[in-house]
């Protein structure tokens, strides 16, 4: 297994998508990239720690490549806005790729330069940074869309449309028996 750590707005959105991808064996919502030595939702949501809401993916590179994970990433969030995804505003919602080694860094830089421009008209402002720490989010944030999505208006109006778009665009990457 390999790790990928990505921030693209609310971690619930990214978690919901990557949980349906063949080859992604686990998705953990959490926090990374901040100035404080610890992170929790209260601190991070204040915007003062500079942590981003992220997902950490445990993936099988024989089933899905890091390049493919990043291609999905560019499609499922807007990498052209600084510290913002839709109505979610603040550094915790920034677009960021935290790399785990120099190979991931090179792949991320190439993907940002070559793949993102084919999807977005404006340039990607996505940060590409070494991962210096990861803090797992509180239990109630894990598997959020699966557990709470149907009862939460945010999920209905923000995540569900992203999921439908993702499922149409990446149908061949969906786990068997997944989707709506």
pLDDT along the chain (180 residues), means of 10: 96 96 98 89 91 98 98 96 92 97 98 97 98 95 92 90 94 74
- Residue reference for tokens 């330069």: 113
Q: Which CATH architecture has domain 2-173?
A: 2-Layer Sandwich (3.30)
pLDDT at 177: 55
Report helix, strand or coil for 11: helix
Q: At what angle do helices 160-169 and 66-76 cross, to 10 degrees?
A: 130
Predicted local confidence at residue 37, as pLDDT: 83
State the catalytic residues: 10
List all residues 6 or more positions away from 170 whose beta carbon is below 8 Å from its beta carbon. 21, 72, 75
Q: 3-state class of 113 per DSSP?
A: helix
Residue 154 tokens, joined: 């945010």
C-alpha–C-alpha distance, residues 106 and 174, integer Å: 26
pLDDT of residue 47: 85
Domain boundaries, the chain: 2-173
Q: Do 123 and 114 form a contact (C-beta atoms < 8 A)?
A: no
Two tokens, residue 121:
């008209």
What is the per-residue pLDDT for 35? 86
Q: Is the pTM of this model over 0.85?
A: yes
Token pair belonging to 62: 């024989």
pLDDT at 180: 43
Measure the CA–CA gap between 112 and 16, rounded to whole angstroms: 22
């Amino acid at each position: 297994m390999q790790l990928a750590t990505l921030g693209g707005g609310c971690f619930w959105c990214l978690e919901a998508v990557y949980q349906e991808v063949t080859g992604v064996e686990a998705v953990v919502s959490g926090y990374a990239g901040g100035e404080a030595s610890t992170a929790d939702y209260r601190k991070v949501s204040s915007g003062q720690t500079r942590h981003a809401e992220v997902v950490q993916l445990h993936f099988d590179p024989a089933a899905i490549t890091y390049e493919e994970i990043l291609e999905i990433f560019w499609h499922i969030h807007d990498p052209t806005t600084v510290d913002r995804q839709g109505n979610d505003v603040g550094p915790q919602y920034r677009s960021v790729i935290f790399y785990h080694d120099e190979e991931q860094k090179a792949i991320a830089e190439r993907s940002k330069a070559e793949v993102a421009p084919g999807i977005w008209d404006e340039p990607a402002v996505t940060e590409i940074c070494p991962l210096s720490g990861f803090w797992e989010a509180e239990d109630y944030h894990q598997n959020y869309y699966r557990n709470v999505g149907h009862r939460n208006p945010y999920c209905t109006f923000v995540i569900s449309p992203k999921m439908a778009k993702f499922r149409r665009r990446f149908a061949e990457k969906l786990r068997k028996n997944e989707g709506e």
